[in-house]
A and B are shown apart, each in its own frame.
Chain A
Amino acid sequence: MPPTQSHRIIDIHTHPAFFQEEVDHADVRRLIRYGRKFGIERMVILGDVLRYGRLPSASQIRSINDQTAALVEAYPDYFLGFCYVNPKLGDRLVRKEIARCVRLGFCGIKLEISCNAADRAMAPVMEEAARYGLPVLQHTADQTNIRERAFHSDPADTATLGGRYPEVQIIMAHLTSVGLRGVREIEEYRNVVVDTSAFQPVAGLVAYAVARLGAERVVYGSDLVIRDLGSSVGRVLAADISRSERRAVLFDNARRILRNGGADV
């Protein structure tokens, strides 16, 4: 096996704080050391998005984003921040929070399960994303068995979002939870990429995504702390793809997306 450290990696999908109002900085430093051991040079913090449930209030959203900002400020060479928003809070509050996050230096927007990606409430989020040039990372999971589509996005919904806003870079989260159909749902939407995070390292899935979408549309992510880094990095290292494709998935694509969002990466 080639040493993991020989790969440069950016992790575009992490939650270093998970149901934690206060983070222990000794734990964070340990996490960074662990990440570096796997070759992970930078991590994108998406926020402690489920701490207050599915529909956080405006103040709860600010609290989550403030925590992200504090971590980015404490470890600026390692962490980058995405702005978590609840589109159901309405036009004014959504635009206000995104503007505040931009001032804080965030370089993307994170959406969880407050509303379905095809919901019209997404309009202000996507308009602000286009205005600031920010990528939008949308949590997505196949809803065939989960059956929460009223608020939980199926890959078809994230594809719909991509079709409505072709000028916005969208990252559909969770390759394993969207599966083969998820890859096909976004295939015709060139502004939508998929991240490799979450669930088990299902054999063949990364290679399938690369074959269908092209390596430039598959981005490494772990979903840390919900998943382990060995499992997350290992599924890309094990994939039957070329060396240059692997480099694109692990590093180049995220760097391109984050730079387009204004990050110094």
Chain B
Amino acid sequence: MFDVNTAVGEWPFQRHGVNTIPELRLRLKQAGVSGALVSHLGCVLAEDPLPYNSDLFADLGRSRKLLPVPVVNPRLPGWEKDLAGLYGRRRRPIAIKVLPAYHNYTLRSPRFNELVAYCVAHAVPILLQLRLDDERTRYFGLKVRVVKPSHVVDLADRWPAARVILLNAYLPEVREIAASTRNTWFDTSFAEWFYTSRLIREAVPPGRILFGSHTPLLETRAAAMKIFDGPITAGLAQRIGHENATKLFDLP
């Protein structure tokens, strides 16, 4: 199983017990996850994500199973130079994660669109994290802008060559965005109703669904059981479990 939505590091609103890479590796292994895209939770609330990205890249080293994904805040000038510092001039990121709701920009902002242009030019998929938690139980002092599905549809329309992966979308959002776009993919972490795997399949073409657990903020095993213990064919389980991610992220 390959997980496209994991992170490591402290989150001030929840003690989750995955503050280090070995702890993340163990949590994933206990749920049968063998590989994952990993970001650093410290990037979410920090104005400058670079120090946390750097820590993550240093901690993961040359890991072939856990692959670091840098968070980029496009409002900060110089992000391209930061990426070059992480990857060198010749390698491209496997993906870039953005959090517009937490970094205070819209999907129409010029600086974000410069980032999209970079991703299109370098064939880098964009992980667009819509939220990290349920709005109803969010810490009262944390005010986070909502990314509307219509804005995601607009983004996908304006950038048909961009590959946008929506993380932590609720099932109604998945339905709305998938119905109007062709260049979007969806992780499974927040979409839920009875028979989740069947409902996601009805909403999204099978090649555009990716397993995502939202570890460590959600229980990895529960996220896996929701999809793979549900009414799902072996073929679809393989596609969601790893084949789609392998193709999209050009995994080894």
Distance in angstroms between the alpha carbons of A203 and B195 in the assembled complex: 22
B136 and A142: CB pair below 8 A?
yes
Q: Among A146, A177, A227, point to the contact of B194 (Cβ < 8 A).
A: A227
Asked whether B196 is an interface residue with its Cβ less than 8 Å from the other chain, the reply is yes
Asked whether B76 is an interface residue with its Cβ less than 8 Å from the other chain, the reply is no
Q: Which residue of B lies closest to A144 (CB)?
A: B140
Interface range on chain B (Cβ under 8 Å from partner): 35 or more
Tell me, rounded to whole Å, the shortest Cβ–Cβ distance linking B15 to chain A.
Answer: 6
Asked whether B31 is an interface residue with its Cβ less than 8 Å from the other chain, the reply is yes
B17 and A203: CB pair below 8 A?
yes
Tell me, rounded to whole Å, the shortest Cβ–Cβ distance linking B14 to chain A.
Answer: 7
Asked whether A230 is an interface residue with its Cβ less than 8 Å from the other chain, the reply is yes
Digitize B37-54: 1 where CB-to-A-CB distance is under 8 Å, 0 elsewhere.
000000000000000000
Distance in angstroms between the alpha carbons of A142 and B136 in the assembled complex: 8
Asked whether A235 is an interface residue with its Cβ less than 8 Å from the other chain, the reply is yes
Within residues 138 to 152 of chain B, which ones have a CB less than 8 A from any CB in chain A?
A: 138, 140
B194 and A224: CB pair below 8 A?
yes
A34 and B17: CB pair below 8 A?
no
A235 and B136: CB pair below 8 A?
no
Tell me, rounded to whole Å, the shortest Cβ–Cβ distance linking A5 to chain B.
Answer: 10
**Known A142-B137, A145-B137; contact A201-B194, beta-carbon cutoff 8 A:** no
Q: Which residue of A lies closest to B195 (CB)?
A: A228
Asked whether B65 is an interface residue with its Cβ less than 8 Å from the other chain, the reply is no
Tell me, rounded to whole Å, the shortest Cβ–Cβ distance linking B81 to chain A.
Answer: 35
Report chain B residues within 8 Å CB of A179: 137
B137 and A4: CB pair below 8 A?
no
Report chain B residues within 8 Å CB of A176: 134, 137
Asked whether B209 is an interface residue with its Cβ less than 8 Å from the other chain, the reply is no
Report chain A residues within 8 Å CB of B226: 228, 230-231, 234
A225 and B194: CB pair below 8 A?
yes
Asked whether B71 is an interface residue with its Cβ less than 8 Å from the other chain, the reply is no
Asked whether B220 is an interface residue with its Cβ less than 8 Å from the other chain, the reply is yes
Within residues 155 to 209 of chain A, which ones have a CB less than 8 A from any CB in chain B?
A: 176-177, 179, 199-204
Further pairs besides A200-B134, A228-B226, A231-B192: 20, Cβ < 8 Å: A31-B194, A141-B136, A142-B137, A145-B140, A176-B137, A177-B136, A200-B214, A200-B218, A201-B223, A203-B16, A203-B217, A226-B194, A227-B192, A227-B194, A229-B194, A230-B228, A234-B219, A238-B219, A239-B219, A240-B17
Mark B residues whose CB is within 8 Å of A. Answer: 14-18, 30-32, 134-138, 140, 189-190, 192-196, 214-231
Q: What 10 A-B pairs are tightest by C-beta distance, nearest first?
A: A234-B222, A230-B225, A201-B222, A225-B194, A234-B225, A230-B226, A238-B221, A238-B219, A231-B226, A201-B219
